[in-house]
Amino acid sequence: MIDQLWLIPLGFAAGILGSMIGLGGGVIVVPVLTFLGFPPTAAASNSLFAALSNAIASTISYSKQKRIEYPLGLKLGLLSIPGTVLGALISSDVAPDVFKILFGFVLIASAAYIFLRKKIETREKTISKQMTVFAIGASFFAGIISSFFGIGGGIIFVPLMVVGMGMAMKKAAPTSQMILLFASFSGVVVHSLLGHPDFFQAGLLAIGSFIGGLVGARLSIDIKERYLQILVSVVILIASAKLFYDSLSGNVFGF
């Protein structure tokens, strides 16, 4: 058990990142666990425990800062639940090399979002009926992504709120953390019923992620993000390249 205590600082680092930019921290946890040989379902389900813990801590902190849009967060959170159930169910059958390839693409999208997030701010706009329908579909898809990969779904929710709904970034990331409460909790329940997580390992990740969530929410008030964005984007891109390399080395395409 002692040799697994490294999961606490891993959860802490992921929690800081997840809280500050609204991604949930799984973009850090899942690649590390995957590189260390964890099966896809174990990596995703263990990571979801960290995402849930991070979302709880971040929501508490952001609530005190009055930066959460509660009505929108509640609606999108509830809409994501059916997708999380489906994501957990289909994750049982994915091959490790296929998971690495798919997650590599998710990491590339995450890096692009992190690097460009300050450039996608738009003026507040009236939400059209078409955007409402799109938001429903996006929430369902985000739920699938959240539970399948164990990343929380913030990569979809934050751009949706900022670009599609005109919400300021300073409120979009906090609101995303509230949404992740619903997405990660429902995913944790289904993964647990399916027997995917190692509860001791998940608990260690959750401890670190909770503390990291509190720290990240506090740092987000006044930290200069540009250098952090560049560093995190580079690390994520390196991780995605390693995932692609490992999957191809595993002859996933038969050559």
Q: 150-171, pLDDT tens digit by residue?
A: 887 777 787 777 777 777 767 8
66 occurs within a structural domain: yes
220 occurs within a structural domain: yes
- Which range of residues forms the domain containing residue 172? 2-249
Average pLDDT over residues 99-115: 80
- Neighbouring CB atoms inside 10 A of 152's CB total 34
255 occurs within a structural domain: no
The reported pTM is 0.80
Q: How far apart are CA 250 and CA 246, in angstroms?
A: 6
Q: What is the pLDDT of residue 126?
A: 55
Q: What is the pLDDT of residue 255?
A: 35
Residue 189 has, within 13 A of its CA and on its CB side, a CA count of 10
Longest dimension (CA), the chain: 55
Average pLDDT over residues 62-68: 87
pLDDT reading at 97 higher than 60: yes
Query: Percent of the chain beyond pLDDT 90?
Result: 22
Average pLDDT over residues 181-193: 92
- The count of domains in the chain is 1
Q: Which of 8-22, 163-177, 187-201 is predicted most confidently?
A: 187-201
Q: What is the pLDDT of residue 16?
A: 86
Quickly tell me which residue has 């996933």 as its tokens: 252
Q: How far apart are CA 19 and CA 126, in angstroms?
A: 27
254 occurs within a structural domain: no
Q: 13-31, pLDDT tens digit by residue?
A: 888 877 776 666 788 898 8
pLDDT reading at 196 higher than 60: yes
Q: What is the pLDDT of residue 234?
A: 76
* DSSP codes joined into one string, 128-174: PHHHHHHHHHHHHHHHHHHHHHTS-SHHHHHHIIIIIT---HHHHHH
105 occurs within a structural domain: yes
Find the length of the chain: 255
What phi and psi, each to the nearest 5 degrees, are found at residue 21? -115, 0
